[in-house]
């Protein structure tokens, strides 16, 4: 049993926002961030979208795509802390860091987030640079054989070394000064149990920094046996490796969500990852668009919402088409993401020649959510007995995508294409 206290920030509903990874990889620039923030403020904010998150390697002057450059030289301050590359984030000039950009995002009524990697920069260790508030140096706190499997930027930090605590505290103090609201910390979620003590130190340091920040852990898949630890240290944690616009990955998410559903709660959400919709992979070509069909995107939005996953749009927002936009601004679906409670898979069966999944959840404003997914390869007309939902009398059902209301005597009657979904509020 875990002994640590509940030190994660408490918020009531899962974060919603935009993240630069799916569209720009490691190469996003300040200009792009501002244009997406502007779009969000104008078109999405009223639906609940609020976080604008700069993803990985913002301190690398030459980062341009989804590929990482091994042993890249990074921008760093004298205290072993990475700072934005000025050529990519001009407003950071003069030691201002992300302060001006955060201020701009706040001015739009939105919140600002950044990506970090667990640990201390490799180059700080090799240059043996200083740690703010400590006589110890980078070399002394590095965990010598803890390095990320896919990126050379950092060494892990050994929490047992003197100076480790001061390093992490100095980091979050800096981010608090900048006005950061959201930290996506990488190379840490699936790195348990061996990096457990570093996660705890990091989480405690964040909590003590004096500013409320959401802590999001990557990459997945997180370890189910560590659920209690994630809940106590973080607000969200990835239950999957990077999720992209492939049906196979979406199909697999049903099993992941079933396993993790019981761990959603006040301020802590298993995270099914970003929504790869619209204009993604823009660093490779401005023509790129999500490979998911409209119906598959409904499947995704329905599952993410009843499951209460955080929602992070992967698209270049200014290129959103009407149909995709409609999926992201359906107020009933977004309400389900906020009000769903105790969501769980009721069953998953072969029915009528296809594979059907039924989820249910309580609605915190009364009534019952139900979601029906056709994840097989055949269209179907099916009836789900209300008793399967433990409903023993007629109810009024609202289908959330169509907004149609009807009275059900004893079954939900549904027609679904393959890779399609329906969502209901029963009252």
Q: Which residues contribute to the site for a copy of itself (CB under 8 A)?
A: 1-3, 6, 10, 12, 70-71, 122-123, 125-126, 128, 139, 142, 144-145, 147-150, 152, 228, 231-232, 258, 261-262, 265-267, 341-342, 344-350, 355, 360-362, 364, 387-390, 392
Whether omega before 359 lies within 30 degrees of 0, making that bond cis, reads no
Contact 201, 159 (CB under 8 A): yes
Nearest approach, Cβ of 54 to a copy of itself (angstroms)?
Answer: 24
What's the CA dihedral at 199, 200, 205, 210 to 10 degrees? 110
For a copy of itself, the closer of residues 173 and 268 by Cβ is 268
- Which is closer to a copy of itself, CB of 29 or CB of 137? 137
368 closest CA partner among 349, 388, 383 = 388
Which CB, 152 or 329, lies closer to a copy of itself? 152
Least distance (Å) between residue 199 CB and a copy of itself: 16
Query: Cβ of residue 157: shortest distance to a copy of itself, in angstroms?
Result: 13
Q: Comparing C-alpha atoms, which of 277, 294, 310 is closest to residue 22?
A: 277
Which residue from 113, 108, 101 is spatially nearest to 43, judged by alpha carbons? 108
Q: Which is nearer to a copy of itself, 71 or 284 (CB)?
A: 71
The sheet with strand 420-426 has its strands ordered as 340-351, 354-363, 368-374, 420-426, 395-399, 405-408
Q: How far apart are CA 320 and CA 252, in angstroms?
A: 26
Residue 402 backbone phi and psi in degrees, to 5 = -100, -15
CB of 79: closest distance to a copy of itself in angstroms?
18
Phi/psi of residue 62, nearest 5 degrees: -100, 0
Nearest distance from residue 114's CB to a copy of itself, in Å? 24
Distance of CA 382 to the CA centre of its chain: 34
Nearer to a copy of itself, 16 or 343 (CB): 343
In terms of residues, how long is the chain? Answer: 427
User: Could you give the residue ranges of the DSSP H alpha helices within 208-288?
Assistant: 227-233, 247-260
d(CA 64, CA 24): 8
Identify whether the C-beta of residue 343 lies closer than 8 Å to the C-beta of residue 360.
yes
> Strand 120-121 relative to strand 16-19: parallel, antiparallel, unpaired?
unpaired
Shortest spacing between CB 147 and a copy of itself, in angstroms: 6
The tally of CA atoms less than 13 A away on the side-chain side of residue 190 is: 13
Minimum CB distance to a copy of itself smaller for 262 or for 286 = 262
| DSSP letter assigned to residue 47 | G
Nearest distance in Å: CB 311, a copy of itself: 18
Which uninterrupted H or E stretch holds 147? strand 142-147
Residue closer to a copy of itself (CB basis): 43 or 139: 139
User: Nearer Cβ to a copy of itself, position 244 or 260?
Assistant: 260
Write down the least CB distance from residue 140 to a copy of itself, Å: 8
Shortest spacing between CB 347 and a copy of itself, in angstroms: 6
CB of 328 to a copy of itself, least distance (A): 25
Nearer to a copy of itself, 42 or 228 (CB): 228
Residue 193: is the preceding peptide bond cis (ω within 30°)? yes
C-beta of 287 vs 350, nearer to a copy of itself: 350
**From the CB of 23, what's the least distance to a copy of itself, in Å?**
26
Q: Which is nearer to a copy of itself, 28 or 360 (CB)?
A: 360
Nearest to 49 by CA among 20, 9, 19, 15: 15
Q: What is the DSSP string of 345-374?
A: EEEEEEETTEEEEEEEEEETTSSEEEEEEE
């Amino acid at each position: 049993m875990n002994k640590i206290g509940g030190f994660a920030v408490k918020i009531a509903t899962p974060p919603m926002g935009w993240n630069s990874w799916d569209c720009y990889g490691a190469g996003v620039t300040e200009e792009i961030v501002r244009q997406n923030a502007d779009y969000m403020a104008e078109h999405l904010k009223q639906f609940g979208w609020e976080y604008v998150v700069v993803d990985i390697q913002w301190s690398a002057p030459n980062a341009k795509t989804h590929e990482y450059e091994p042993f890249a030289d990074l921008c760093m301050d004298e205290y072993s802390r990475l700072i934005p590359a000025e050529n990519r984030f001009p407003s950071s000039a003069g030691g201002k860091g992300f302060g001006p950009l955060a201020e701009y995002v706040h001015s739009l009524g939105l919140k600002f987030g950044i990506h970090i990697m667990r640990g201390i920069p490799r180059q700080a260790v090799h240059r043996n640079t200083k740690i703010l508030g400590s006589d110890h140096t980078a070399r002394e706190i590095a965990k010598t054989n803890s390095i990320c499997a896919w990126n050379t930027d950092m060494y892990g930090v050994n929490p047992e070394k003197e100076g480790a605590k001061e390093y992490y505290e100095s980091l979050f103090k800096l981010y608090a000064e900048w006005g950061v609201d959201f930290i996506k910390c990488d190379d840490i979620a699936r790195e348990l149990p061996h990096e457990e003590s570093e996660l705890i130190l990091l989480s405690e340091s964040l909590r003590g920094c004096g500013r409320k920040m959401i802590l999001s852990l990557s990459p997945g898949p997180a370890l189910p046996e560590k659920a209690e630890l994630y809940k106590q240290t973080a607000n969200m944690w990835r239950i999957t490796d990077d999720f992209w616009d492939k049906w196979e990955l979406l199909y697999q998410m049903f099993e992941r969500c079933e396993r993790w559903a019981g761990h959603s709660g006040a301020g802590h959400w298993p995270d099914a990852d970003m929504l790869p919709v619209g204009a993604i992979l823009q660093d490779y070509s401005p023509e790129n668009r999500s490979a998911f069909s409209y119906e598959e995107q409904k499947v995704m939005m329905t599952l993410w919402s009843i499951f209460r996953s955080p929602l992070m749009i992967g698209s270049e927002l200014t290129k959103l088409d009407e149909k995709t936009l409609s999926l992201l601004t359906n107020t009933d679906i977004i309400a389900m993401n906020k009000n769903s409670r105790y969501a769980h898979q009721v069953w998953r069966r072969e029915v009528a020649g296809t594979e059907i999944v039924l989820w249910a959840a309580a609605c915190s404003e009364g009534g019952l959510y139900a979601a029906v997914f056709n994840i097989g390869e055949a269209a179907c007309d099916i009836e789900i007995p209300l008793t399967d939902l433990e409903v023993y009398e007629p109810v009024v059902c609202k289908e959330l995508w169509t907004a149609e209301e009807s009275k059900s005597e004893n079954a939900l009657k549904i027609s679904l294409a393959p890779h399609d979904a329906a969502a209901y509020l029963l009252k």
